[in-house]
Chain A
Amino acid sequence: MHPAFSVLIFTVTSGAGYGLLSWLGMGQLLGYTQTSSIDQQIILGVIAMVLVTIGLLSSTMHLASPKNAWRSFSRFRTSWLSREAVFAVLLYPVAALYAAAIFWQWSSINLLAGLSIILALVTLFSTSMIYASLRTIRQWNTPMVPALFMAYALVSGGLLFLAVSGFYGALNPQLLTVIMGLIVITLALKLVYFFWQGKPQGATIQTATGFTQASVRLLDAGHSAPTFLNREFGYQVAADQLLRLRIVMTIVAFIAPLGVVYWFTQGANVGMLSLAWLMMMAGLLIERWLFFAEARHVVRLYQGEQRT
């Protein structure tokens, strides 16, 4: 699949935003933000919503007719993209009320925190299901995809939560341990995904053409220059480059941030947590690029590929 840069930015930044908002809300419910000041909580919420907004604005850039984007709220019953749009927009008033509840210390603050968490996670889940629901792309059509999207969002949002809290001197050591554990779990999940993805499975050129008893080779694709289908689905990257990028991604997104966070626990400057977060975001951009570049749509079988 062709990796559209606007979609990479969208899923990575809005994911971190939803993750951050979830940690803020969970802090309210579980009590680990009780010692934090009001402006720290407001700042965390604002950063979360700014990240979400940057992501959502970026997502509209890959539309060929953005003037019709408002119609995307209309097919809530069947389309995950429509559900994502509805939940993403619903979150704004709820998050604003939550911010007001923090500021004026309303008694309904727990309810609003809970609602914000639910909407943030449901929006994330809807985004991931846009990909996971496609039977045409076996690399995406797996429950591992929503699990991974949730994990990336929670881990990158959690690290940002720690980085900002660190500046306010209100760092919860237990939360630090939890986030470090979550980095390890997310990395493990991603490695499982890589191993699973490498296994040959799914449709072949035989089932695509109906000649299941013989070998089939493409003689002529029927067009002299690349078509929309080639550009969208025929994206091809050399296998050794993919492998290199997988290694770079694993280090930049997970291992290096984990090391930096550990360094921080050994007494390094609190700014190290921000560095760890920035590295993770860069690594997750590579991860998202790989997520698209490694996804092989079944249309490629009609363009001459033997299997997906």
Chain B
Amino acid sequence: MKLGLVVDLDTCVGCHACATACKQWNTSGTIGPLSDERPHGKDPSGSWLNRIHSYEVDDSPHSKTVNMPMSCMHCETAECVTVCPTGASYKREEDGIVLIDQDKCMGCNLCSWACPYGARELDTDSGTMKKCTLCVDRIYDEQLPEAERQPACVLTCPTSSRVFGDFDDPDSEVSRLTRERAGQQLMPELGYNPVNTYLPPRNPKQQERITVSPMQGVKQLVNRIINR
């Protein structure tokens, strides 16, 4: 199995619900509290496993706002794991999830240096590195109804722009979406082979409308209403 996420950049509205749900679930999860520094102070800081950046792509008037949530990509070539001197970082053979054993981490920061996606953050309170677990303590939990055996970020996303699944299965939704919507990896030239895939925004169908004559346009509109 090759578990990972697909993030739809077309529908993500940048609401930060995934980051909040992630923090809420994982702060009481397997990797211990995700501590905060000065949570009510002037410059609050803390460890988060998922962060959302917003970009303006292309120039006005053709520009578009794209929200890009980033968490661990569970790379196939996970150099954060190979550089780890203590063996705290590991990649699971069975499903490819990259995890950190909190009891072994010595907090040297080297794995965060090796990660191109900023997926690892040092928890200054515990002195260990924290990262996305792909909610490993949810997705295999048989106490939960089957529909809820998904990462917290995926369950909470109001626009369903996050999809979880097995990339090794060609018929899974993540594989199908990646195939049909030309899903891409971030910074592929670095050669980390990230598993998580981002679906680029779709092109609005402006060009089709322009080529349609006014009469045809009215016909199409009527047909569409009747079909509905």
Contact = CB atoms under 8 A, between A and B. Distances in A.
Given A74-B85, A81-B110, A208-B187, A216 B43 contact: no
Contacts of B198: 210
Contacts of A228: 45, 47, 112, 121-122, 124
Interface in A255-308: 297-299, 301-303
B32 to A, nearest CB: 13
Interface size class of B (residues with CB under 8 A): 35 or more
Given A228-B47, A298-B190, A64 B122 contact: yes
Interface stretch (B101-109, B168-176, B204-212): B101-109
B108 A216 contact: no
A62 B44 CA distance: 23
Contacts of B83: 78-81, 130, 133-134
Interface string B28-52: 0000000000000011110110011
A104 interface: no
B189 interface: yes
Contact of B128 (A64, A79, A135): A64
Contacts of B85: 71-75, 79, 81-82, 85
B118 interface: yes
B189 A207 contact: yes
Contact of A219 (B42, B56, B107, B192): B56
Contacts of A78: 81-83
Q: Which of B43, B65, B84 has the most CB of A within 10 A?
A: B84
Contacts of B76: none
A223 B19 CA distance: 11
Given A66-B106, A74-B85, A74-B87, A227 B58 contact: no
Given A75-B84, A79-B82, A211-B66, A219 B54 contact: yes
B140 to A, nearest CB: 27
B106 A64 contact: yes
Nearest to A295: B113
B35 to A, nearest CB: 11
A198 interface: no
A71 B104 contact: yes
B57 interface: yes
B116 interface: yes
Contacts of A298: 116, 187, 190
Contacts of A63: 106-108, 127
Q: Which of B52, B84, B116, B124 has the most CB of A within 10 A?
A: B116
B61 interface: no
A80 B105 CA distance: 16
Nearest to A76: B85
B136 interface: no
Contacts of B53: 218, 220-222, 302-303
Given A71-B86, A232-B112, A303-B53, 5 more contacts: A64-B124, A85-B85, A134-B114, A203-B190, A211-B55
Closest 8 CB pairs of A and B: A64-B107, A64-B127, A225-B43, A71-B86, A68-B106, A214-B58, A82-B85, A72-B85
Interface of A: 1, 62-69, 71-75, 78-82, 85, 130, 133-137, 203, 207-211, 214-229, 232-233, 297-299, 301-303
19 contacts: A1-B113, A62-B108, A64-B106, A64-B124, A68-B88, A68-B104, A74-B87, A135-B79, A135-B191, A135-B192, A203-B116, A211-B57, A215-B57, A218-B55, A222-B16, A222-B53, A223-B51, A225-B42, A229-B112
Interface of B: 14, 16, 19, 42-45, 47-48, 51-59, 65-66, 68, 70, 79, 81-88, 103-110, 112-118, 121-122, 124, 126-128, 184-192, 198, 200
